[in-house]
Amino acid sequence: MTLRPLLVPLGTGAGSTTVLYGDPSSSFAILLGEECRLLVDLGYGVARQASLILGSLPTKVYISHNHSDHSGDLPVVALRGAFQGRPLTIWSEPEVERRLKEHRLHEFREAGALPEDIAHWVSTPEKVETAIDADFSLIPYRGRHSETSFGFVLRFRGEAVLGYSADSGFSRELYHHLLAAPVLVLDGRDQGSEEHASFEEIEAFAQTVPERKILISHYGRPDEAPTRLNSLRLGEPVEL
């Protein structure tokens, strides 16, 4: 039997969830067998959760955008990895990469720890397929969000297996791209906005593509999960 990738949720928190309630921000890991091939987003509380669930901190990370609930743990994890001789490799869209280097990792500059020195950076231009390793690659697509944010379609050995919206308001254009995959993970909230799609909007969209498996994340605490939609749950793996 061919080994299939697993998506392991590490958190579903919204912007204030970790700060106010202690639950981890939205993130998930892509595993093949026992090996973590990619950690997706590294916001507040994710590093600790990754250590607990995966047993160690991954060294391959995709960052969708520079909001704290998607990149807040990045400075400490990147510096720690460099000191331990296990530097991070960070994939992100070029403008997101620039913002991470100039703003998110600025706190270490005066100490001489430049972003280029403490991590390896791989630019992932929009709509261009970029390799993660011999098995996985991804194609980024821009979401509808105040901060420049990119989701992606993840490919496994040439096959699209996952569409991820990252943070985005309801966007048929973005979702059209993500439908290349059979499983979609979409940003959703009980009350939608320009920044985040609503459960109601996603439910209506899901009814038009019944052949796709749609899972909601970034909804907040576990008790804030949608009742009429499937959702990611902390530590519960999804086969891709």
| Residue 159 CA to its chain's centroid (Å) | 19
Q: Which of 90, 112, 87 is nearest to 100 (CA)?
A: 90
Distance from chain centroid for Cα 203: 21
CA-closest candidate to residue 188, choices 220, 213, 233, 163: 220
CA–CA separation, 114 and 42 (whole Å): 19
Tell me what the mean pLDDT of segment 2-18 comes to: 95
Structure pTM? Answer: 0.96
**CA atoms of 195 and 22, how far apart (whole Å):** 23
Residue 225 CA to chain centroid, in angstroms? 18
Cβ atoms of 44 and 19 closer than 8 Å? yes
DSSP output for 121-152:
EEE--TT--EESSSSEEEEEEE-S-SS--EEE
Q: How many domains does the chain have?
A: 1
What is the per-residue pLDDT for 24?
A: 97
Residue with tokens 């869209």: 93
- Whether 1 shows a pLDDT value over 70: the answer reads no
Measured distance CA(205)–CA(119) in Å, rounded: 39
Biggest distance spanned by C-alpha atoms of the chain: 53
Q: Where are the alpha helices (DSSP H) in the chain?
A: 17-21, 46-54, 68-71, 74-83, 94-99, 115-118, 172-178, 199-208
Average pLDDT over residues 34-62: 96
Q: What is the C-alpha to C-alpha distance for residues 86 and 98, in angstroms, rounded to an integer?
A: 22
Q: Average model confidence (pLDDT) for the chain?
A: 96
CATH of the domain at 66: 3.60.15.10
Range of the domain at 139: 5-239
129-171 pLDDT, tens digit each = 999 999 999 999 999 999 999 999 999 999 999 999 999 999 9
pLDDT of 77-135, one tens digit each?
999 999 999 999 999 999 999 999 999 999 887 777 899 999 999 999 999 999 999 99
The C-alpha angle 187, 190, 191, rounded to 5 degrees, equals 100
180-235 pLDDT tens trace = 999 999 999 999 999 999 999 999 999 999 999 999 999 999 999 999 999 999 98
